[in-house]
Amino acid sequence: MGQNFQEDATAVAELVSSGAASPDEMLDEALARVAALNPALNAVVLINEEAARAAIRQGLPDGPFRGVPFLIKDLGAEAQDFPSNNGSNLLRDTRYSYDSEIFLRMRATGVVTFGRTTSPEGGIGPVTEAAVYGGPTRNPWDVTRTSGGSSGGSGAAVAAGIVPMAHGSDGGGSVRIPASSCGLFGFKPTRARLPDGPASGEGWAGMATDGFLTRSVRDNAAMMDACAGPDLGAPYAAPEMEMAYGQAIQRPPKRLRIALCYTTFTGKPIGPDCKAAVEKTAKLLSNMGHDVIPHVPQADHEGMMHAWTKIVACGTASWIDSTLNAKGRALQQGDIQGVAESAHRMAQGISGAEYLNAVNKIHSYGREMAAVFGDYDIILSSTLAEPPAAVGRFTHDRDDYENYRVGAGGVFEYSPFCATFNASGQPAASVPMHWTDEGLPVGIHLAAAFGQDATLIALCAELEQAAPWANRKPAMLTEYLA
C-alpha cells in the first residue's frame, strides 16, 4: 500500500473504491509519513486526526476523491474542525463558527482532511518562513532551499509524498511558485472561477483565488470541476467555460499560437536553468505542431507591480487592524513579523483615493494584457526567474515591505511573471518541465486569455503526456519507500 500511495489522488481514490485499501488505512499511511518526513520539512501543522476519523465513520461523500488524505492551507479555507494560525502569531489558534464554501466543496469530493499546511504571514512572499511555526518550511528536493510561497507547506507536503494533493491559494503566484519550486502542477483559474464566501467577496481586489498543488493534471482538473462556480451572494462570476476541466483534458487543444518569452516581461534576462526550461518546452510545443513565436508582451508591468504592492499592503493592514479591534488591544511585540509590520505602516500612508487608483491600475493592466491575447492564445515563460531560492533569502524578519517586493533583488525580480495574471485575472499554470543538474525543479509558466481555462488545461495535459514527470521523486521520498 505504501508504494501505491505515491501515485496521484485519482489513483489513491481508485484503491479505496476497489476495496484494495480503506480510508482509515490511507489516513494511517499519511500520518506515518507526517511523522517520518515532516520534521525535515516543517510543512504540516494543526493536525486534527479525530475530526478525520469522525468524517470516515460518518460516511464519506461518494466523490472523485473518496478516501484520499488531504491537507488545507493554513490561510483562508475556514473550517470549524480546523483552527488556523493564518501564518501569524497575532492570529494563532483562530477558531471558526462556520465552514467556508471552498472547504465544503472540497469536502464533498470525499477527501479526508486531517490538518493544515504552513503559509507565510498574511500570504505575502515567495517563501514560507513564518515565525508562528517555529522555523522555515523546506523543499523536499533540497532542504537548504525554499519550497516556495505562499502555499509552501502544501507544495512541500505533496512533493514529499505525505499527501497526493493539497489545497493552496494564489494572490501573486502562491500556487504556481510552490509548484515550480517543488516539481508539481499548479493552476490559477480565471478570476472568480472559485468561491470566496462567506468571509469575503474577493481577496486583494480580486487578485487572490484558491487553487491546488497536485502531482497530475487530472487531479487538478477534477478538484477544480468540483469546486468551480460562484457561491451565494458572490459579487461577480467568471465567464462560463466551453467545457469542464475534466472534459478539456480528454482531448488535445487546437494548434495554438504561442508567444514565447525568453526574458522577463520587462526584457531582463532570466537564469540559465530557467531559460533552458523555456527553450526545451518551446521546442517540444513546436514539434507538437503549435505555432511558437518569440514575443515580449507589452504592458506597464512595473506599474502593475507597484499597484499590487499597495493593494496588498492595505489588505495586510485590514486583517491586522480588524484582529486587534476584535481583541481590544494594541499591537504587541512578537505579534507580527517585520514584513507585515512595514506593510501595515505603508498602508497608513495610502489614502482611499490612492487605493482606488491602484485598483484602477490593475484593471487597466488587465485590459493591456487582454490585448496581448488578441494576437496569441498562450504566453509561455518561466515560472520564476531562477531555481528555488535558498532558505532565508526572502525572510519576513525584515522591516522593508515595499523594497522586499519591488526593490533591487526583491520578490518581483525573483518572480516576475506570476503576479501579472493575478492582476489581469487570466488563467495561468506552472508545469514541471525541467530539473537542473543539481536536481532542483524548474517550472514553465503558461497563461491564456480571460475565461479560456479549458484551452490552457488541455495544453497542460498535452505537455504532461508528451513529457511525463510523475516518475521524478525527491530522494527523501524514494528512501522512505525503499
pLDDT tens digits for range 381-403? 999 999 999 999 999 999 999 99
Mean pLDDT of the 309-315 span: 98
Judging by DSSP bridges, how do beta strands 257-260 and 291-294 pair with one another? parallel
Q: How far apart are CA 217 and CA 221, in angstroms?
A: 6
Judging by DSSP bridges, how do beta strands 138-139 and 142-146 pair with one another? antiparallel
Q: For residue 192, which amino acid is it?
A: A
pLDDT value at position 195? 98
Q: How far apart are CA 298 and CA 191, in angstroms?
A: 21
Rg for the chain, CA atoms, rounded = 21
pLDDT value at position 4? 56
Residue (of 364, 366, 375) closest to 428 by Cα position: 366
Q: How far apart are CA 237 and CA 228, in angstroms?
A: 10
Report CA dihedral (301, 303, 306, 310) to the nearest 10 degrees. Answer: -120
Does residue 3 carry a pLDDT above 70? no
Cβ–Cβ < 8 Å for 417, 168 = no
Q: For residue 400, which amino acid is it?
A: D
Residue tagged active-site, from 147, 150, 169, 180: 150
Residue 198: cis peptide before it, omega within 30 degrees of 0:
yes
Residue (of 362, 7, 277, 320) closest to 161 by Cα position: 7
**pLDDT class of 109 with cuts at 50, 70, 90:** very high
In the three-class reduction of DSSP (H, G, I as helix; E, B as strand; rest coil), residue 448 is classed as strand
**pLDDT class of 6 with cuts at 50, 70, 90:** low
Q: How far apart are CA 159 and CA 472, in angstroms?
A: 10
165-170, strands of its sheet edge to edge: 44-45, 112-117, 69-73, 165-170, 209-214, 185-188, 428-435, 441-448, 378-382, 257-260, 291-294
pLDDT tens digits for range 410-421? 999 999 999 999
Residue whose entry in the numeric block shows the C-alpha cell 467555460: 241
Does residue 123 carry a pLDDT above 70? yes
Q: How far apart are CA 16 and CA 13, in angstroms?
A: 5
Mean pLDDT of the 439-467 span: 98
pLDDT value at position 322? 97
**pLDDT class of 479 with cuts at 50, 70, 90:** very high
- Alpha carbons within 13 angstroms on the beta-carbon side of residue 100 total 25
Q: How far apart are CA 431 and CA 299, in angstroms?
A: 24
Q: At what angle do helices 152-159 and 23-41 cross, to 10 degrees?
A: 110
Cβ–Cβ < 8 Å for 82, 72 = yes
Residue tagged active-site, from 73, 188, 310, 473: 73
Helices within 271-331 (DSSP H only): 272-287, 301-327
In the three-class reduction of DSSP (H, G, I as helix; E, B as strand; rest coil), residue 317 is classed as helix
Q: How far apart are CA 295 and CA 263, in angstroms?
A: 10
Going from N- to C-terminal start, the domains of the chain cover 4-481
Q: For residue 92, which amino acid is it?
A: R
Q: How far apart are CA 277 and CA 271, in angstroms?
A: 10
CB atoms within 10 A of CB 321: 14
The DSSP H or E segment spanning 445 is: strand 441-448
**Which of left, alpha, beta for 198 (phi over 0: left; psi -120 to 50: alpha)?**
alpha
- The CATH classification number of 4-481 equals 3.90.1300.10
pLDDT value at position 464? 98
Does residue 1 carry a pLDDT above 70? no
Residue (of 47, 32, 43, 75) closest to 156 by Cα position: 43
Does residue 206 carry a pLDDT above 80? yes
pLDDT tens digits for range 335-359? 999 999 999 999 999 999 999 999 9
Q: How far apart are CA 304 and CA 216, in angstroms?
A: 32
Report the first-to-last Cα separation within the chain, whole angstroms. 13
For the chain, percent of residues with pLDDT exceeding 70: 99
Residue whose entry in the numeric block shows the C-alpha cell 482611499: 352
pLDDT tens digits for range 208-243? 999 999 999 999 999 999 999 999 999 999 999 999
Global pTM value: 0.98
pLDDT value at position 2? 54
Give the torsion sign (CA, 274, 44, 159, 423).
negative
Residue 150 designated active-site: yes
Report CA dihedral (436, 440, 441, 442) to the nearest 10 degrees. Answer: -50
Mean pLDDT estimate for the chain: 97
